[in-house]
Amino acid sequence: MKTLGLIGGMSWESTAEYYRLLNELTRDRLGGLHSARLVLHSVDFADIERLQTAGRWEEAGKVLAGAARSLEAAGAELLLICTNTMHKVADQVAAAVSVPLLHLADATADAVRAAGLRRVGLLGTAFTMEQDFYRGRLASGGLDVLVPDTDARALVHRVIYQELCLGVVREESRAAYRRVIGELVAAGAEGIVLGCTEIELLVRQEDSPVPLFPTARLHAEAAVAAALDGR
């Protein structure tokens, strides 16, 4: 099995999910006491969040590029950025190393197409929902992407940063997300992309009338397949 390098800590709540998923998926594939070969570089999310809010993405990219180089030096053969939003700097990170970076949006688009769907609703941080770095990547993968209206985007973003990234899961927030999902489905969404890894802590399939695409799980599945099968 190839050694996977994880750029995590954004937030550590979802990075812990990545660790669990990667090890469970490896055990499921190989059986017995097998677990994933992993190297983790976990950043201080407070530093990254300040750069995000200030629009200082190149500086944030330098932090993640440094993390990528440290992972390569530690033996990582395939890299994962364990967050959707910071794929805004994915090209900067990939350019800093000689090992491949598995792009989360590509793994997600592959899964949506494999399900026979094309039109999806996207939930995530305001950066992910409103900017083109992620929506455009999904669109280039053949998907038609819908996002919530302005007020709903603000609600989704607030819950991520003020609750989920702090490990807080509230039933009222789950109900609010259900309403947003319902509005996207009414607008024509055939599936919902949970385009923030923390959302998987809050929303489950029973909360949606259409298929959900949990990006952390999809990323982990693609990573284990690549590490074991060379895909």
DSSP code per residue over 66-133: HHHHHHHHTT-SEEEES-SGGGGGHHHHHTT-SS-B--HHHHHHHHHHHTT--EEEEES-HHHHHSHH
Residue 226 has pLDDT above 70, yes or no: yes
pLDDT band, very low/low/confident/very high, at 223 (cuts 50, 70, 90)? very high
pLDDT given at position 202: 95
Q: Which of 15, 26, 82, 83 is catalytic?
A: 83
In the chain, which residues fall in CATH 3.40.50.1860? 4-103+217-229, 105-215
pTM recorded for the entire structure: 0.92
For 78-90, how does the pLDDT look when each residue is reduced to its tens digit (9 = 90+)?
Answer: 999 999 999 999 9
pLDDT given at position 130: 94
CATH architecture of 4-103+217-229: 3-Layer(aba) Sandwich (3.40)
Residue 154 has pLDDT above 60, yes or no: yes
Q: Which of 26, 108, 196, 197 is catalytic?
A: 196
Contact 193, 122 (CB under 8 A): yes
Query: Catalytic: 83?
Result: yes
pLDDT given at position 52: 94
Residues 199-220, mean pLDDT to the nearest whole number: 95
Query: Catalytic: 165?
Result: no
pLDDT band, very low/low/confident/very high, at 231 (cuts 50, 70, 90)? low
Residues 13-35, mean pLDDT to the nearest whole number: 96
Fold of the CATH domain 105-215: Rossmann fold (3.40.50)
